[in-house]
Amino acid sequence: MKLTGQSPDEVRAWDHEDLLGLLAYCELENEEMEQRTRSAPHAAAPSRRAATGGPTTNTTIYRFGPKPKR
């Protein structure tokens, strides 16, 4: 599983409640991201610098919650 960095067999051995907690956390993250993009639609527009042919950079931020207990 890419999200946890563990093999699918290890994740299958997790407690059912831990998996539901992880899925709920991911859903909250998705809702938060959707809310941010709705409240700031200009952020999704291409930058002026990119339109002029200048250098562009992309920044990706990964947020991780507490590791599920086994």
Compute mean pLDDT per 10 residues along the chain, 70 residues long, and list them.
78 86 88 84 55 67 72
Provide the domain count of the chain.
1
Residue 25 in any domain: the answer is: yes
Write out the H or E segment, with its range, that includes residue 47. none
Domain span including residue 34 = 15-39
Q: Please report whether residue 64 resides in a domain.
A: no
CA distance 34 to 28: 10
The b/e string for 6-30 (b: 16+ C-beta within 10 A; e otherwise) is: eeeeeeeebeeeeeebbeebeeeee
- AA identity, residue 2: K
> Would you state the pLDDT for residue 4?
73
Alpha-helix residue ranges (DSSP H) falling in the chain: 8-12, 16-39, 48-51
